[in-house]
Amino acid sequence: MYYFDHCASTPPLPEVIRTMAEVMAEHYANPSSLHRGGAEAAKLLERARAVIAGAFGTEAGEWFFTSGGTESNNLAVVGAARQYRSRGNHLITSAVEHPSVLEPFRMLEREGFRVTYLPVDGCGVVSPEAVEAALTDETTLVSVMHVNNEVGSVQPLAAIGSLLHRRPRTLFHVDGVQSIGKLPVRLREWGVDLLAASAHKVGGPRGIGLLYKREGVRLAPLMGGGGQEGGVRPGTENVPAIVAAAKAFRLAVESQKQRAGRMYRLRGKLLACVAAIPELVLNGGGSADDPAGTGGSEEKEPAAAPHIVHFSYPGMKPEVFVHMLEKHRILASTKSACSSKDDKPSAVLEAMGADRERAASGIRISFGDEHGDAELEWLCGMLGQVVKKLKPLERKMNE
């Protein structure tokens, strides 16, 4: 099979699997235990924390382990809003965030918080000017993702961080789940206070997430329990998965630049392929000649992520398209894996201004390290064949 669903989950790296198995077999003691076995497990835990901190140029004490990206985003958004409610009850986010960010904001609205959902342009990008215009003296949190999980748009975090730098009472949260290992993540430079990440998006195990919390920031815990993870996230730490995740994140960050260059080249080929099929409509930024959307400038931040191509087949049900691709040994997605089983139009595409037919027919292709020219040529060839086979059905569906 050709696996083109890396945004949903990545294949675990062989060295990550070996590390996890070794730690699980040899260091099974609870890291909170006082005996030698517990102390050895606790050392591994802190070594993993230091590895992650080193990869991002931060301090080890600023990283906390959770069960995944969803928990990290929930803890950051809800924990910050509740902790700093005495400062104000206004919060800002964008209309194209992942459900693990949007749902906590809706929950906070039910608690009496006021939330501004920022619009995006036709490529799915938030305007820093819109962020600035929405800020009030009551704003305690701005949450904007780095890379959109559906269409791959890249948000202007440097500009947003710059304007928030002048407002120390407003925290800046970033959902970095889809960007780590694909694009540089500059926490200090951007002034990020909170960041969420997930190990299984970078070749690590599932069930492990990271939460970066800048020193000095406080969060109201979502769970009660022991004092693990500084009391921010109680519960016995999953040491084997944490050690394996640290290795996956380190490898992802170390190889990011090389990976991005190779993926942008593949992305350009796929964009050209999709653009040549009249029935398909590309969504998001970039073009075949400029897949990063920088306009050729080496100084400019990319507008599109290197590993995602998204398009619509207006008039065609996306699940029909996905299943037809599968018959040709290609695995792809309709939208976010967390939302792919509902039949509603994509909220991300609707926020980008797409009509209902286009928003209800999106297909996401996301690739990874195992892909090269041969895999892209197979995919491009099959896209053309699938559209040709589905064409009669398209007419029938529209009758």
Give the pLDDT confidence score for residue 394 in this predicted structure: 74
What integer pLDDT is reported at residue 336 of this predicted model? 57
Q: Has residue 96 got a pLDDT over 80?
A: yes
Average pLDDT over residues 144-165: 97
Reported in sequence order, the residue ranges of the chain that DSSP labels E, i.e. its strands, are 2-3, 63-66, 90-94, 114-118, 139-143, 171-175, 194-198, 209-213, 281-283, 308-312, 330-331, 362-366
Q: Which residues pair with 173 in a beta bridge?
A: 143, 194
pLDDT in tens, 364-391: 999 999 999 999 999 999 999 999 999 8
Mean pLDDT of 135-161: 97
pLDDT band at residue 339, thresholds of 50, 70 and 90? low
Query: For the chain, what is the mean pLDDT?
Result: 94
Mean pLDDT in residue range 152-162:
97
Beta-strand ranges (E) seen in 199-326 are 209-213, 281-283, 308-312
| 213-269 pLDDT, tens digit each | 999 999 999 999 988 998 999 999 999 999 999 999 999 999 999 999 999 999 999
CA neighbor of 105 nearest in space, from 136, 137, 130, 80: 80
The pTM of the full predicted model, rounded to 2 decimals, is 0.95
Burial status of residue 211 (CB atoms within 10 A of its CB: 0-12, 13-18, 19 or more): buried
**Over 80: is that where the pLDDT of 395 sits?**
no
Distances from the Cα of 90 to the Cαs of 115, 146, 247, 333, in angstroms? 6, 21, 38, 35
Catalytic residue among 7, 123, 338, 380: 338
Q: Which of 333, 339, 319 is nearest to 98 (CA)?
A: 339
Q: What are residue 91's DSSP bridge partners?
A: 115, 141
pLDDT of residue 393: 78
Active site residue 273: no
pLDDT interval class at 399 (50, 70, 90)? low
Q: Are 365 and 309 spatial neighbours (Cβ–Cβ below 8 Å)?
A: yes
